Amino acid sequence: MRVLIVKDYDEMSKKAADIVAELVKRKPNCVLGLATGSTPEGLYSELVRRHKEEGLDFSKVITFNLDEYYGLPGTHPQSYRYFMNEKLFNGINIRKENTLVPDGKVPIKDIEKFCKEYEEKIKKAGGIDLQVLGIGGDGHIAFNEPGSSLSSRTRLVALNEQTIKDNSRFFSSVDDVPKYALSMGVGTILEAKELLFLANGEKKAEVVAKAIEGPITSSITASALQLHPKVTVILDEGAAKMLSRVSFYKFAAEAEEKIGMKLF
């Protein structure tokens, strides 16, 4: 696992954008796995800037989002489809049909089939080359709440109390937050060829330390990242505050610079 500790949110976003942009240039038809939430917003605005000012070309890129609130149509301002259109897709030259987000309005009876097909579409696209991830206050990646199987696949999930409370900041009241979501599973995420895990702010420090340095447990589904051979973690100083191996991470990051090679 590469753990890069940077000064602030802005630097985290730029470093993450460097990794995404490098892939898009090297493999123009790459498959990106994308996340929503406050964490990757800066990454997306930096990618939009690089498209507009530097011509970063997304015309052949395919994207799959991690999750969507169940019950919200893509036109709802709090839906993740809406978020992605607003924060990224409308600002770059990606083809809308190449942007896949789970459909929050799929009828209950069709959910199983829909989720299976979502996974099949990922496989058909050649698998996800790079999956962007944030972490929830309860340690989730995507909406894999504590207790989710580490081999879970895309499915309907119930949101736990903390997530509903955390996300109520975007809704007029906590009662308006959807109680269910469609989410890629931990097993789905671990199949991506490379992971890019981002966290910022002191509020995340404790859960980040558990995820990166604690035992692998379904109680903190982000800890499953430790099972993946190619993970880059980018943290700002706040989110890195409770890590115990900081001097090692800094040493390894300096070594990377010297030898010009990523040390996973």
Write out the residues near ligand PGA by the rule CB under 6 A.
37-39, 134-136, 140
Supply the minimum distance, in Å, between the C-beta of residue 176 and ligand PGA: 17
Among residues 103, 119, 129, 140, the one annotated as catalytic is: 140
The question of whether 97 is a catalytic residue gets the answer: no
| Residue of 138, 166, 194, 236 with catalytic role | 138
Residue number, 33 or 98, with CB nearest to ligand PGA:
33
Comparing every residue's Cβ against ligand PGA, the nearest one is 37
67, 68, 103, 166: the active-site residue? 67
Residue 8 φ then ψ, to 5°: -150, -175
Question: CB atoms < 10 A from the CB of 181, how many?
Answer: 24
Edge-first strand order for the sheet with 2-6 is 2-6, 231-236, 195-199, 130-133, 31-34, 62-65, 99-100
Least Å distance, CB 136 to ligand PGA, is 3
The helix (run of H) or strand (run of E) holding residue 156 is: strand 155-158
The rounded distance, in Å, linking the Cα atoms of 260 and 264 is: 13
Residue (136 or 185) nearer to ligand PGA, CB: 136
CB contact burial 38-61 (16+ within 10 A = b; e otherwise): ebbbbbbebbbebbeeeebebeeb
Whichever of 27 and 76 has its CB closer to ligand PGA, that residue is 76
Residue 140 annotated to the active site: yes
Residue 37 or 185 with smaller CB distance to ligand PGA: 37
In whole angstroms, how close is the CB of 139 to ligand PGA at the nearest point?
A: 10
Least separation in angstroms between residue 255's CB and ligand PGA is 30
Task: Tell me phi and psi for residue 236, to 5 degrees.
Answer: -85, 175
Note if 145 is an active site residue: yes
51 a catalytic residue: no
* Helix (H/G/I), strand (E/B), else coil: 69: strand
Q: Which residue number, 44 or 58, has a Cβ lying nearer to ligand PGA? A: 44
Decide: helix, strand or coil at residue 234.
strand
CB of 124 to ligand PGA, least distance (A): 26
Catalytic residue among 46, 119, 129, 145: 145
Spell out the residues 6+ positions from residue 7 whose beta carbon is closer than 8 angstroms to its own. Answer: 236, 237
Question: Which H or E run contains 44?
Answer: helix 41-54
Q: What positions carry a catalytic annotation?
A: 67, 138, 140, 145
